[in-house]
Structure 1
């Protein structure tokens, strides 16, 4: 029994002092990925999260899907899903939870964090006070947990603010901005115009479900009475069960930090009024058995403060795809700006303009220019309002968080501050370690200079030479233009034979298209065009291009729209090969072609995008000469996804036992090996709501063995579903050869491997 008598002074809460190498404030996707990355790199991390679960806007409290550069497969960014920890999380979620249940996703995040012994997780704990040792340095923070009435005093040499509103940076005195810059400050032609300036608002989702019996609904007194106050009220529908109505947005005209509770109440008013309209207006069929299952209790925030770093990302960086010496992450979402009035605006709910490819984000955007030991992660990084319209989405934020986590570990290792990492030339080390962990920074490979694989002789059982994509699939109507994306060699001319089915005599127009930037997948150059007269019925068409391709890059074998023609497709799927379609994807403002009506600093171009499985089969064809694009040398070039090359070794599907062998002139002592598999970086892997067709990516090698020169099994994997497999041997091994035996993922997909890394020292 505890009993205390009257105490004449104020009682203090319990105080617990904690120390670590890095404190991360904010447990959204950026904070989670920063913490896991730093912990795996060997430093102690305290993760402070003011909510009962992790994930922020992706959690069960808000329930927004995670997206980034892949943009729902609605843009031209091929193989652009973010790598590293965020990739690992999304693949695990797919494996366990392809239905997109956010409760399950909560548990995956909690497991991922609590599995790391270097992380101390403080849930329901709000950072509320900063103490500084000098004007430019944070000494410690204070945070309060309402669930255990404990005040934590947390000290560390380094801090990361991933809190969304930037509470840590704000209290530390760091320079910040809210709202939109003028068009003149950075020359951004997308800066405030036509109502798409100032702040983006908050959104509350709601879920409905169908029951076995009729359910009545009586709205609360505070619900919106006249639904016609919402200009888009006719877009409300019962089909999506409420959960995709992202445009129920409000708050951009208010202070999105201090007015959040006021904004939440307005959103509750709208949501309950919208449900009243759906249930009781008589405008909707078959709603009697629908009930309101869930309404968010905290709003999903889009924008508040943005903090000033050593560099500020801007529109031209994204459009021009500018290269940075200190690139550590990438983005690819559209410039996605919303009217400040949100749902009460007469304007469309968003204004999205896409770039032609992914763009680099420099390290300097994550480093405070005022506070010497402070990193930024998430949506508060150093970017203009316009650039923020692209960089703010969760997968991009998570990717940047990984860069911060690795940078923090490097700072601790070298006893330096975040800014000194640039000044003292550690950026190349940071980039290497990030890429080794799967970051895939555009145009920057893993540094393989010291990798023992570079001295090895490589041998394989067989390698795919693509002479045919089999004629064994469905017929695909040319009701929309379609193309086969193929890796072609410099100065090569190619001949293709396809099979068509023609309803009546007509013409087929074929084009060989290229991208003006070899690492992009926007076919903005027509390299050569051929037109064929076709008779009715099934027939083969020989397409013989005479003009050599000027550079080694991906090309688009393109078939223009003709409703009278169908092309035969193939059931065979191959790493680095994909079909694309000039189709519309309204969810990301893709109308088939982007064509600004005025000069807003955005380029015009067509969208050529894949279809989600089980659709999106390759176009069946014969290819002459065969494509020799899948060579074994790719496994040591440092790239772990396609760019202008496939960058993968692909086995021949007819090879019953695909095998790679690494041979050294003298025995090597190895501590481990790392394999990078194909988990289809085109697939966005949305974390919630949007169900996926499979639990595992069909290109991913599930089963493999690693043997030494004596054919002894060093490691065996069954049922792999992850991109990166890092194998640390129980003790260092000495061998003159390593043999990797792979099984084909299926009889329709050949085994493939992007990269092999060998380690002759303990893992970093």
Structure 2
């Protein structure tokens, strides 16, 4: 029993001081990815989160799905889902939670953090002040946990502000911006004018459900009375919920930091008014049993402060896909700006302009130009308001934050400051260490000298020579133009045979297309076009092209729309090949073609996008000569996903138990083996609400055994679902070779591996 007598003195809170190698403020997706990345490199990391759960806007408190370069599969960024820890989290979530339950996603994030022994997690702990060693160095942060009444002082040589509003960078005096730059400052033609507004607002959502009995609803007095105040009110659906109401947005005309409580009240007004409209207006049928299940209690913030780094990424870098020597990640979400009046605006809820492919993000955007030991992560990185429209989304935040986590680990290892990693040797080390963990920095493969496999000879029990995509599927109407995307070899003239069913005499137009940039998947070059007269009925069509790609790259065998024609498709699915369609995806402003106004600095081009599984089957065809892009030379080339070419070894479809042999001329010491497998980087894996057709991606190798060249088993894997499998041997082995025995994933899916890494 504790009894403490009255005192005239004020009582202090319990105080605790924590010393660490690296301190991260903010436990959203960015903070989580940075913390896990740093911790796995042996860096003692403190992760401070002011909420009771991790995930920020992706958590059950807000319930926004995680998206990035894949953009709901609505753009031309093929195989672009973010890699590394970000990918690991999304793949794990799909495996356990393909229905998209935000509460389950909370547990997955928490588990990932708690499993790392080098992370000290402080939940419900708000940082409110800092102390500095000198003008340009932070010494510690001060925080308070309202649940346990403990005041914390956390000291470390390195800090990362991933807090969203930038509380640490702000308190430290770092330069920041709020609002939109004028066109003249950076030459950005998409910079908004005052009527559109300079800030994106906050959003809040609700979930509803159907009971087995009638449920009445009486709106609170503060609810919106006149639904016509929302110009888009006719877009409201009675069964819509969660972040499908992303456009319930407000606050872009206010101070999105200090006016947050006022903004929240306005969003509650909207939500409860909308629910009153659904339940009581008489405009909706069959809503008697509908009830509110959940309403957000904190707003999901889009934009507030952006801090100035050693470089500020801008519109031209995104649209023109500028290359950077210090690239550490990629982006690919559209430049997505919203009218400042949000839900009350008469304008479209967003304006999205896409680039033709993914773009690089430089390391310098993550390093404060003013505070020597401070990294920037999440939505506060160094970007103009226009470029921020793309870099702000959570999967991109997670990917760039992984670079922060790795950079912090290297700084700790070398006793260096963040800016020191811009030295060429350090920068190359950072990029390579990131890529070994799956970062997939565009145009930066894993350095061959770091991978023992690159010095080995590799043989396989079989190799796919793609001479046929089997004719074992259904008929696919050419109501939409369709194309088969294939990794063709340079200066090879290909012939394709397809099977068509024609309802009336007609003419089919077939084109061979490619991309101006060989690593893009926007078919903006027509190499050759053919018109083929067809008679009514089922028939084989042979298309021989006299033109070809001049470099190894993906090309599109393109069939223009014709409602009189159906093509046979295939149940065959394989790594590195996909069918795409010139369709529409309203969710990301894709109307089949992007046609921006003149003088906006944005390209005009067509969208050719896949259909989601279980749809999206390949177009059945014979191919001559066979496409020879899937051999063992791809193992050890440093790429861990399709990029320009397939970059995968693939076995024959008939090979039920394929085998890879890796052999060296001399004995090697091996302590770690990594397998980079195919979990379909084209699939967005939205974290919540959306739902997915399966728990495990069809292409993913589930079962395998690794042996040394004497037949001794080193490792056995059963029921794998993850992209990267890291096997750390308890005792390093000395051997001249290893053998990997694999099981074919599915009947119509051949076995594939992108990369094998040994050290």
TM-score, normalised by the number of residues in structure 1: 0.99
CA RMSD of aligned residues (A): 0.8
**More displaced 10-residue stretch of structure 1: 486-495 or 663-672:** 663-672
Supply the distance in 1 between the matched residues of 2:498 and 2:98 (Cα, whole angstroms): 35
**More displaced 10-residue stretch of structure 1: 376-385 or 221-230:** 221-230
SS in 1 for 2:245: coil
SS in 2 for 1:643: coil
Matches within 5 A, 1:371-382: 371-382=371-382
Question: Per-residue deviation at 1:242?
Answer: 5.2
Question: Per-residue deviation at 1:610?
Answer: 0.4
1:413 maps to which residue?
A: 413
| 1:171-193, Cα deviation, whole Å (9 max, x unpaired) | 01100000000000000000013
Supply the distance in 1 between the matched residues of 2:610 and 2:531 (Cα, whole angstroms): 25
Question: Per-residue deviation at 1:655?
Answer: 1.6
2:663 maps to which residue?
A: 663
1:697 maps to which residue?
A: 697
Q: Do the aligned residues in 2 keep the contact of 1:197 with 1:337 (CA within 8 Å)?
A: no
Supply the distance in 1 between the matched residues of 2:741 and 2:193 (Cα, whole angstroms): 58
2:89 maps to which residue?
A: 89
1:239 aligns with 2:233: no
1:356 maps to which residue?
A: 356
1:147 maps to which residue?
A: 147
**More displaced 10-residue stretch of structure 1: 445-454 or 380-389:** 445-454
2:109 maps to which residue?
A: 109
SS in 2 for 1:636: coil
Distance 1:195 1:523, change over 3 A: farther
Supply the distance in 2 between the matched residues of 1:50 and 1:608 (Cα, whole angstroms): 42
Matches within 5 A, 1:102-501: 102-193=102-193, 195-241=195-241, 243-423=243-423, 425-501=425-501
Q: Do the aligned residues in 1 keep the contact of 2:65 with 2:243 (CA within 8 Å)?
A: no
Runs of 4+ in structure 1 deviating by more than 6 angstroms, as ranges, are: none
Question: Per-residue deviation at 1:549?
Answer: 2.1
Matches within 5 A, 1:578-727: 578-727=578-727
SS in 1 for 2:370: coil
**More displaced 10-residue stretch of structure 1: 242-251 or 257-266:** 242-251
Q: Do the aligned residues in 2 keep the contact of 1:142 with 1:151 (CA within 8 Å)?
A: yes
1:762 maps to which residue?
A: none
1:53 maps to which residue?
A: 53
SS in 1 for 2:92: helix
Question: Per-residue deviation at 1:424?
Answer: 6.4
SS in 2 for 1:144: strand
SS in 1 for 2:562: coil
Supply the distance in 2 between the matched residues of 1:46 and 1:452 (Cα, whole angstroms): 34
| 1:275-297, Cα deviation, whole Å (9 max, x unpaired) | 00010000011111100110000
Supply the distance in 1 between the matched residues of 2:733 and 2:240 (Cα, whole angstroms): 56
Q: Do the aligned residues in 1 keep the contact of 2:229 with 2:344 (CA within 8 Å)?
A: yes
| 1:277-327, Cα deviation, whole Å (9 max, x unpaired) | 010000011111100110000000000000000000000001110110100
1:514 aligns with 2:494: no
Distance 1:561 1:194, change over 3 A: farther
Supply the distance in 2 between the matched residues of 1:270 and 1:656 (Cα, whole angstroms): 57
Supply the distance in 2 between the matched residues of 1:693 and 1:59 (Cα, whole angstroms): 22
Supply the distance in 1 between the matched residues of 2:456 and 2:635 (Cα, whole angstroms): 12
Supply the distance in 2 between the matched residues of 1:74 and 1:287 (Cα, whole angstroms): 32
Supply the distance in 2 between the matched residues of 1:643 and 1:188 (Cα, whole angstroms): 29
Supply the distance in 1 between the matched residues of 2:656 and 2:97 (Cα, whole angstroms): 32
Supply the distance in 1 between the matched residues of 2:341 and 2:604 (Cα, whole angstroms): 28
1:14 maps to which residue?
A: 14
Supply the distance in 2 between the matched residues of 1:78 and 1:372 (Cα, whole angstroms): 37
1:70 aligns with 2:70: yes
Question: Per-residue deviation at 1:246?
Answer: 0.6
Supply the distance in 1 between the matched residues of 2:549 and 2:333 (Cα, whole angstroms): 30
| 1:589-627, Cα deviation, whole Å (9 max, x unpaired) | 000000012210000000000000010000000000000
Structure 2's unaligned 5+ residue stretches are none
Total equivalences in the alignment: 759
Structure 1's unaligned 5+ residue stretches are 760-764
TM-score, normalised by the number of residues in structure 2: 0.99
SS in 1 for 2:132: strand
